[in-house]
Structure 1
Amino acid sequence: MTAKTPRPKADPLDLAGIDDLLSPEEKAVRAAVRQVCDTSIDPYVADWFESGELPVVRELAKELGSLGLLGMHLEGYGCAGMSAVDYGLACLELEASDSGIRSLVSVQGSLAMYAIWRFGTEEHKQQWLPRMASGDAIGCFGLTEPDHGSDPAGMRTRARRDGADWVLDGSKMWITNGSVSDVAVVWAETEEGVRGFVVPTDTPGFTAHTIKHKMSLRASVTSELVLDGVRLPADAVFPEVRGLRGPLSCLNEARYGIVWGAMGAARSAFRTALAYAGERAQFGRPIGGFQLTQAKLADMAVELTNGTLLAMHLGRRKDAVGLRPEQVSLGKLNNVSKALEICRTARTILGANGISLEYPVIRHMNNLESVLTYEGTPEMHTLIIGQALTGQDAFR
């Protein structure tokens, strides 16, 4: 660069130049996801949130499946087999639109599909994964119970043998996609420990009830599953995995997507606040010209940069050597809490307009209150990190 060459203008949304770390192929993945969000989600999501419904869930699943976004990080069976960074970038763009939409993709691909892909029989995989990858079948993941969230070892759902069959009884709570699913991966206590079952949702005794009156993740289907004498054939069970290792490994896959997704919600709120600060005038000039507003924006930009860099590092590491559970916890704990702070700060910059659904800020803020505690509360991730640091188990 010569002395006469003008310096390129800084990108306010990427002051650190993180985009330079992405390959052209990764940028193309991101652009494709952003395009579908721009056309099929963003114009409608505020109305979905306000009504507390996702009326196009099946149509949206098929559209996302046609792009290869469902189970995109899995190999074979109609899955795209893309990298962890590709998947992370997709989660970031989806959650920049809405956490509920990212949850639809995350539960489908990283919980239900991943469980079948990792632990299922060849028959399970052939029966379900191609249809789930295309969006023609929707799945859910039944682990959390009404009285057992952070402590899944206390689950009360039971599976007992009856001749060659299995019979399941119990209930699961706060299950994304539950009442629109074609298949449920259900974890139940057995005489052999916790085991996973592939449950077609048209099996007699299986019912799913949509949970209403939510003030968060309103553009998402959340359900209670009830299993009342659900009879399954012997081959419905995952054949090898025993104990909590199975469901917890699935949760780590989904938590990784949250590390990226939370930065999408944060970016959307930051972008909105930055634009608003340049347009909203008080005392004769835009509020972006006042020191306190600039301090807020600078702090938000720093945390957004830090969180995105952490997500990028974990993604590259996952592709290269894999991730340890405490590394995923580090990312989820930091990025969700910082994203929530960014949304709350953005709300203050927008003032009263910050609570209006004309802007995305309050929607992201409300959604992140759920993201903060699902798939591991801050307390649980803090203790996972603490155990890694000290070697001492402080969970009990």
Structure 2
Amino acid sequence: MSNVNPGMDAEVFEQFQEQLRRYVRERLIPAENDVIANDGIPDDLLAEMREMGLFGLTMPEEYGGAGMNVTQYIETIYTLSYAMPAYRSITSINLGMVCSAIKNSGTPEQKAEWLPRLAAGEIASFGLTEPGSGSDSAGLQTTAVRSGNGYVLNGTKRYITNAPFAKIALIMARTSKENLPKNGHVSAFLVPLDTAGVTRGKSDKKMGQPGSHIGDIILEDVFVPGDALLGGEEGKGFATAMQSLDNGRLSVGAASTAYARRALDTAVKYATERKAFGEPIANFQLIQAMLSDSYAEIYAAECMMRDAIKKADEGRKVLLEAAAFKMFASEMCGRVADRCVQIHGGAGYLAEYEAERFFRDSRIYRIYEGTTQIMQLVIAKQMLRDFSAGMHG
């Protein structure tokens, strides 16, 4: 198709992937215990990740990025996510959500100011979720009221990835008291987090995913100039957020699939080393059943991923595919992590082995970027819309 995004040169991309695969296995995985102990990625590793361009994969080349298309970006996330989730978490908000929102909807001035900074590794947050609303935009409480040549923002954002140390947040706020059709009451604002009136809650303690941080962003009479309004137009914020969420869902699906592969590889290794009744437990058919079910499910998720990203790069809408892939892959990752614990037996419950960490880490994939239940609603509503459209013409 003529509107296929060519992205990075194919040969250069393959070399980058090979370099990243080595980096994941030789640097990122060996550093995992350190990340867990300190609940953070060491500065030297972060500097290496910036140097490799991992914060600028999707930024256009003229802004200092690699100019990857969706396929290349998601394949890169898949490669990176074989390692613990903190590494994807710190880069992916820049790449998949804030960058795509600015690229798709920003003014030329906003692109020129923010994309080079994001590509260089300034860390971003995406501020949609609130204490009383997540996927429900009608419940959004944060307000942006016109004041002189700008806006005054008030509200609280909750569970915001990277909030404790991000430099900028894309904040969704209400520019109309009434709920308008197509969520026209929601606008998006680029807010540097050192702006007067912004405070951040402390990093929340979580079930898993050590080294990645979430927290509140509290906005109290925060004045931002008019040019902070994304795209310079009110009422486009929710559409921008939803466009970005397709990328976010593809990224979470890819991360789930890669982490399931890591859990399965660990389970295979353990099953061949652990002996019971005088032989490796890998010889037992019920263990083999768990391994083979896991392989088949991972393969199915990989096929879904590659179909969805190919369609995205052809310029097709992938709302359905992104939601279905995220839903299937995140649920599948939970099943594979659970089997990994089961194959380890008693050892699977001990912190000494990786299986229990995989189990805790993978649980969030079924929740963020829209829960499984929200994915079901998104898929069903779109199916019914498509059916109605077909019925009436």
Deviates more, 1:357-366 or 1:76-85: 357-366
Q: Determine the C-alpha separation between the residues in 2 that align with 1:249 and 1:345.
A: 34
Alignment of 1:164-313 (within 5 A): 164-191=149-176, 193-238=185-230, 239-240=232-233, 242-313=236-307
Match status 1:46 vs 2:33 = yes
Deviates more, 1:366-375 or 1:67-76: 67-76
Deviates more, 1:373-382 or 1:207-216: 207-216
Query: Offset at 1:196?
Result: 0.7
Q: How many residues align?
A: 368
Query: For the Cα contact (< 8 Å) 2:154–2:221, is it kept in 1?
Result: yes
User: Can you give the 5+ residue segments of structure 2 that lack an aligned partner in the other structure?
Assistant: 1-9, 177-183, 388-393
Alignment of 1:1-396 (within 5 A): 26-49=13-36, 51=38, 53-56=39-42, 59-75=44-60, 76-135=62-121, 137-191=122-176, 193-238=185-230, 239-240=232-233, 242-391=236-385
Q: Determine the C-alpha separation between the residues in 2 that align with 1:323 and 1:63.
A: 35
Q: Determine the C-alpha separation between the residues in 1 that align with 2:198 and 2:22.
A: 37
Query: Offset at 1:391?
Result: 3.1
Letter in 2 for 1:380: I
Q: Determine the C-alpha separation between the residues in 1 that align with 2:236 and 2:385.
A: 25
- 1:50-85 CA-to-partner distances (Å, cap 9, x unmatched) read 55x2153x6544422322222413323111111322
Letter in 2 for 1:106: S
- 1:238-262 CA-to-partner distances (Å, cap 9, x unmatched) read 1136252111111111111122111
- 1:217-237 CA-to-partner distances (Å, cap 9, x unmatched) read 222021110001111111111
SS of equivalent to 2:206: coil
Deviates more, 1:330-339 or 1:86-95: 86-95
Letter in 1 for 2:205: H
SS of equivalent to 2:208: coil
Query: For the Cα contact (< 8 Å) 1:153–1:244, is it kept in 2?
Result: no
Letter in 2 for 1:247: A
- 1:24-72 CA-to-partner distances (Å, cap 9, x unmatched) read 6554332222222234321222342355x2153x654442232222241
User: Can you give the 5+ residue segments of structure 1 that lack an aligned partner in the other structure?
Assistant: 1-22
Quote the sequence identity (%). Answer: 30
What is the TM-score with the length of structure 2 in the denominator?
Answer: 0.88
Letter in 2 for 1:215: M
Query: For the Cα contact (< 8 Å) 1:144–1:152, is it kept in 2?
Result: no
- 1:86-118 CA-to-partner distances (Å, cap 9, x unmatched) read 212211122211122212221111112222222
What is the TM-score with the length of structure 1 in the denominator?
Answer: 0.87
